[in-house]
Structure 1
Amino acid sequence: MDPRTSAQDVMRCDLCETTVVQMHCDTCLVNLCKACVGEHMIPDQFKKHEIVPFQLRKSTPLYPVCKSHSKERCEMYCKQCDIPVCASCLTSDKHLGHKLLKVLQVLDEKKDKILKEQTELKETIYPTYQDIASDVQNRMIQLEKEYGDLSTAITKHGEDWHREIDKLVKKLKAEVDKMKNTQLQTLQKHLDEINKTMSDIKDEIDSMDVAVNSNIISKLFSLSSEIDRHRNLPEKMVPSLPKFAPGKIQAEFSKLFGTVSSSSLTSDKHGYSMKTQKSPEAGSFPPVKQLLDEPETVTTIDTGYRNLYNVACLSDEEIWTRGNVNTIKLYSINQGSLLKSITTKSGNKPINIAVTRSGDLVYTDYNDRTVNIVKNEKIEEVIRLQNWIPWSICSTSSGDLLVIMDSDDYTQTKAVCYSGSTEKQTIQFDDKGNPLYSFGYYYKYITENRNLDICVSDSRADAVVVVNQAGKLRFRYTGQTPAPKNQTFYPRGITTDSQSHILTADRDNECVHIIDQDGQFLRYINCGLSRPWGLCIDTNDNLFVAQCNKRQVKKIKYLQ
């Protein structure tokens, strides 16, 4: 927490550490009380200390230290040598006849250049990369569909043949799967490189913000921009699908049954073009699946908990569940059988569970203030919080972890993005400085949408709060009237699907709300739900609902 904005304590003098801060040395960046000003200046009386009232700190430009004369600062800039120079430098013969400018003038020019590049990165280059990432993801979805159609065609043709050619059918399908996997792996690697570049661009934007807002001039001179590299957009990967050519049933089965042509993945350097203006929300695709008129229950799984709170998909065949005890259970979806149980490291009951992109189980320990990961049945502590308590967790598309948490005194709530154990981003306030989330001992769940929005179900606020990737508020959804049981919207678990729909469990109305990525209500899912709590979606967009009191997980099909 920034001590300058903290309301928990006042700023103290850096020397005596007892008296309230009144003054500030802009030269040494030290906070002082009036009594300690003289003591601060005594050790180096020849150093020019800029002492200002604390409220005016950072008002004095901090000129860079001269590389040739370490005790002097540079207030001029030599145009020919392209370096800052001090008074001693100017008295030497080294810069005779050179054009000299004031450092502050050069600083203004440098700031203008940085701000222009930052604007281009923010409004043109980064949105373009967002669209490129979306395009690659869309191609992967379409590739999956078309390869599926190809496999279906091969299977249908194989049904017309005798059992003796089953082996040949399997061989051809294996070739198709191999080509599909090769292309998907290539596209995934391409997408990972794009996401890495997008992350680098965001880091560069943040570095520019720090440099521009700093009074330390050397930071501006040391800042080097990678904008020229980012202007070179990645190649566009365009997969070429093989075709299945069925043959007539005659004597030579292997030749006449049919063949699959070879596939290819071409690279087009000019496939993408830079955006000319700031784009709208990236990552939205044309609808691929439509909502069913009547959602249907596929199966129900009994978990044995007294109360069931969370469910997380490990795969399309297995789900993790979390109840009112210190064990997390893995169930087979098709058989409904218990496959594995994990006991928490601390012995406390977990407060939330999720599955990472690599398939590892993660859980939050509310009492222990930790986030833990289970690898090969061994539990490792990933994050340990100080003065904060973790609620819900999710794994992002980039492999990071999003955690929603409360302060120890329940007066603040924030969402934090972690890369491993390193904090990357904190989301807590809107543009006006107002809290985005309610606080207090109330359940909150978090997830990431396909368009990279961050969605939080806030039960105390009776709302779903959605911010974009930068943490800027997009909308609040507060329910739909009339509600199925005419109760106030009381959100619990939250998840998203391939269509960027946001699905939220409404405990008191015993239903699931479906809204689109812009917060527009689409439909309720009822299906005889009883006290729905946790939600998750598998890769085929099947919905899994943890029913608290019934101790059951329902698998529901709601998309065509």
Structure 2
Amino acid sequence: MAQHYLVCGTEDCKRNCQFYCNPCHQRLCERCRDEHQESPDTKDHEVVPYKQRKPQLPEEKCNLHPKRNVEILCKECNVPLCAKCIFMKEHTGHQLDDLEEKYAEKVAFCRSEILKIQEYYLPTSQGLKKEIKEDVMTIKKTMDDIRNSIKAEADSLKELVDKVTSDKLEEANKIEETLLKTLNSQEKTYEDYTEYLEKLLKEFHSYKSIDNIRVLFSEDFENLKIQSIPETTQPVLPEFTAGHFDKDEVSKLLGSVNFPNTKPDNRRIKPMENASTQLKLTGKQTRRGVEESDVKPTLSLSSSVTKVREYTVPGVDRVYHISSGKSGKLWFSDCDGNLVQTDLKGNQVQKIQTSGGSQGYHTVTQDGDLIYTDRKNKVINRIKQNNTVTEFIKTGDWEPISIHSSHINGDILVGTRKDGEAKVIRYNKSGEEIQNIQRDDKGHELYSDPHYITENINGDICTSDFNKQAVVVVNKSGEHGFSYTGQGSTFFPYGICSDLLGHIIVCNGFPGNKSLDIIDQDGQFLSLLLTSQQWIHPCGLCVDDENNLHVGQYITTTVTVYKYLQ
């Protein structure tokens, strides 16, 4: 549903609409409301704040009386009637209601249900969807840890098996050594006996051939006797008794993978707590709902956009980019390299000449310094609060065209181009390169002309890419989340910013389809804040500390401030 800047409905009055006359169905400013209530003809009319207005009953002709409009509801038949129908006999005695009142109740119910869907059911279900993705990553990590534990158990068991094997082999070696020692001793016994027999054999030979027979009857001869063969024992050979184990026993040794004896918890869905109070996130969204400390019943997307004020920027010929600094001071740039800072009253504080073009080439750091890209020299310069300009980062062969300083951690995101290629480079606060984002997980180029860049409250990098005609969003790890290509047939994204509710606001500068599109942090289209029917030419954007949206245009130096949150 397109949103718009409301003006008073009184003829020739162009002031902001704040009130509504329900009987007249007329928008009123504060002055016209007073005149309306002072007029004798309308002093009894119900005049309410615009947001509490009753919708006007659409004109619809009666089926039975085509020249009359339906304006009454038969409660018992639940059908709309014209004033003539109530006299028909089928409705005689039936209770009748003002159709406009019932229509207002139905519209109020629809608004309430839309609000519940937009501000509770959709964010909650999308949060649970994100939670499931995180659970997938957790499961993968858990299973990797389990697999590593199984391998560690197996390695430990292998080491133990190797140790036991070594001990048993050593035991076998000792048994072998003992047996061989015994056999060697037995072998020595028979060697000594053999030597004895050979000596005895020689003596018998000597007695056989002697001449003196008396020697054969001597005591020495009588003592010659063959000693019996020594007895030895045969070795008892050891046997190997195989171990008794099977696959199940080994499996037990290696542990097991089991689910704990616990009933799984249902995913916790935060109670709606009356969606009509319009609870909104003012901080980060977490798994399983919203952090209690981040819930404030203060801000939500308004049903209409209110023009707060306008101001003219000195020193530029149009407004292509806006950077919000400390104490409400703002920086503005045009397409000719003019970079101007103004104070709270819109007075020019300083002006410098740069090589920037029609891109988001400047940003304010957490410290309050301005940093801006120098495409010609391929560097990023810093302007400190004492107005000194220093060279901060060199980008090498890559031409820096857009830049954003993170409000989360102070990192610096730079959109760059080189030889028809493009990428986003992340630097830390010290200017050291820490990340390169160029392709998605399938190797496709993510960017072509990243000429505006910002960061969402959850750390997503949101890039306005003119050539791709899309807003390209990646998470802080560089993984592609989604690409938003607008609501019309052609989408030429320019300035882009994000607010504290996670909304992404982008300018569509295509002629004939000029608009301010607002999407949520998951890429879901929410609404058109402004449309081409309101004669805007949006280009540069920023949200200030009071949640007001500053919109600069590419045909004028006028910046319009809108309130779009309530």
Q: Normalising TM by the smaller chain, what interval?
A: 0.3 to 0.5
TM-score, length basis structure 1:
0.46
Determine which structure has more spread, i.e. the larger CA radius of gyration. 2
Output the TM-score relative to the length of structure 2.
0.46
